[in-house]
Amino acid sequence: MIKIEKVDVVDVVIATDEGILLIKRKYPIKPIKKEYPTYENCWALIGGHVDPGETDKKAAIREAYEETHLKVKIIKKIGDYDKPSPRQKSQGLTLRDPRGNYVSHAYLAEIVGGELRADSDAKELKFFKKIPENIAFDHDEIVSYGLNKIRKDFVNVIINFNLLPEVFTLKMLQNYYEIIQDVKFEKQKFIQYIFAADILELASTKIDSINYEDQLYKFNKILILSNLFLKGCFCIVFWLMALNKKL
């Protein structure tokens, strides 16, 4: 049996309030089997090969700039991917990358500078609120897992400190989060973070403690409860008790 040499690559989930940034490349890949997909005209995460002597993190920052002309800061590592996703397995694939044994080191990143501009190898760059059906490789799994990490991090804070009123402004939420987590965010960076978490919804009511011109939000209780279910029944009961106190 011929051993396929491992190739290290990076994939970068760039999340903003506009969605997840994806790229559609001009050229299809060359699979090792003719029956494998070439992912022509498919959307994919920003990323590429790790150069010799380069760390995964530095490769992610470099690839992000080369493909988008954006400067990014790594928030956290999502994980390492060396197996096909469930969607790929249902398509008969035995590799996550049809080109061979490509191991992806995936990172979650935020934009800190630059101006969005497609590289010469790209057909198009676009932000997506939802994962498109024609997404390449196992990138649907990577995006989903990365966004779930954001949601769970935020939910972990919410269930431990039930201090906010039922409706609130983004400024109130940011102040609350910074106090509890002992961190400081730039206003725009926090907005990117919280909208990427996708746990807020617009509130139709107003409260006297804030300016009526400020947009009011509330937590999407259904999504939060679904996250709490993953943490166990105790957390669900705790959250429901907290909600009842506000009614």
CATH of the domain at 84: 3.90.79.10
Q: Are residues 119 and 61 in the same domain?
A: yes
What token pair was written down for 62?
């470099």
Q: Is 5 among the catalytic positions? A: no
Q: Quick one: DSSP state of residue 173?
A: H
181-199 per-position pLDDT tens digit: 666 778 877 877 777 767 7
The active-site residue out of 40, 66, 124, 178 is: 124
pLDDT at 16: 76
Closest-CA residue to 73 (of 17, 16, 147):
16
pLDDT above 70 (res 164): no
Average of per-residue pLDDT across 8-29: 88
**Sorting pLDDT into bands at 50, 70 and 90, what band is 236?**
very low
Q: Report the C-alpha gap between 75 and 109 in whole angstroms.
A: 5
The neighbouring-strand residues paired with 74 are 109
pLDDT at 66: 94
Q: Are residues 120 and 43 in the same domain?
A: yes
Q: Report the C-alpha gap between 81 and 138 in whole angstroms.
A: 9
Q: Report the C-alpha gap between 25 and 46 in whole angstroms.
A: 10
pLDDT above 80 (res 228): no
Q: Are residues 32 and 113 in the same domain?
A: yes
CATH code of the domain in which 191 resides? 1.10.10.10
* CA-to-CA separations, 168 to 13, 171, 172, in angstroms, rounded: 28, 8, 6
| Better-scored residue on pLDDT, 29 or 200 | 29
Average of per-residue pLDDT across 211-236: 59
Domain span including residue 49? 6-139
Q: Are residues 10 and 113 in the same domain?
A: yes
Q: Report the C-alpha gap between 49 and 97 in whole angstroms.
A: 13
pLDDT at 241: 45
Supply the pTM of this predicted model. Answer: 0.66
111-125 per-position pLDDT tens digit: 889 999 988 888 999
